[in-house]
Structure 1
């Protein structure tokens, strides 16, 4: 029987569950692998992206999807249920997102800085969140349809982002904004690896 993360007890995906870096890498790799297998089928029934802009065709996704690749989180912030903004830098969050062939996977950890003056006293990273599934992209919007996640969202739930690609001399940045019901909820900047 294949290993399916959704069959594990909830405590394995708690925001405060401590994992080693190699464990985090294994979870991320497993999430990406599962997202690309036929085991993950719930996103097929997820709501379709709004038809405000034409979807990029599968052929275009394979031959030039601007989002495709590995991305490292550079900065960001989100608003909580009480309307308070939280900066990712203050939370010491680090994340990697992989987008390939219409599938996405991300893993986020909380890595507190080392204590000053004590090189060996580097706190272990804490697991923060992970998710994987399918995505669709238009010229201005990118929508993730979750198949698996660690934060309690329903399978197939859609998270839509406005995006903008910024090409600089030596790097490519992805700027995203998530808006729900007319309110800005999250802003992120990702660096293409």
Structure 2
């Protein structure tokens, strides 16, 4: 009986796990800089790993093998939006303290888009790591 209870508890926790939970590798993306120029991640030779837990995230990004940026904090997500609230960063955080993305999760690919004043200012594609 105790094994059945343990099995049910493990199954319930896996069913309730957040679908973004896990480790992710950056595949591609771009951002729009302060001058309105689109900067492609490939041109910067960016690589990154992001780890998402139940309520927290952290990431580190390298550019051509050298440190580029890192951040960690809390996040909230529903089936359409993912909002990061960085607590520790190597970069300035917006005045409202958050980054909100629309996202799609298809299999092991996670695509995120961030909009500002109706303009797409950031797009990222992440692949789940095994």
TM-score using structure 1 length: 0.57
Aligned Cα RMSD in Å? Answer: 2.1
- 1:13-39 deviation line (CA, Å, top 9, x unaligned): xxxxxxxxxxxxxxxxxxxxxxxxxxx
SS of the aligned residue for 1:174 comes to: strand
Contact 1:106–1:132 under 8 Å retained in 2: yes
Q: Which has the higher contact order (CA 8 A, sep 6+)?
A: 1
Contact 2:101 2:113 in 1 (8 A): yes
Distance apart, 1:70 and its partner CA: 0.3
> Which residue among 117, 125, 129 is the counterpart of 1:189?
125
1:141 aligned partner = 81
1:61 to partner: Cα distance: 9.6
Higher strand share: 2
After TM superposition, the runs of 4+ consecutive aligned structure 1 residues lying more than 6 A away are 59-62
Distance 1:61 1:177, change over 3 A: farther
Which one has the bigger helix percentage?
1
Q: Any idea what SS the aligned residue of 1:163 has?
A: strand
TM-score (norm 2): 0.84
1:175 matched to which residue of 2? Answer: 111
What pairs with 1:62-77 in structure 2 (closer than 5 Å)? 63-77=16-30
In structure 1, stretches of 5+ residues that fail to align are 1-58, 112-124
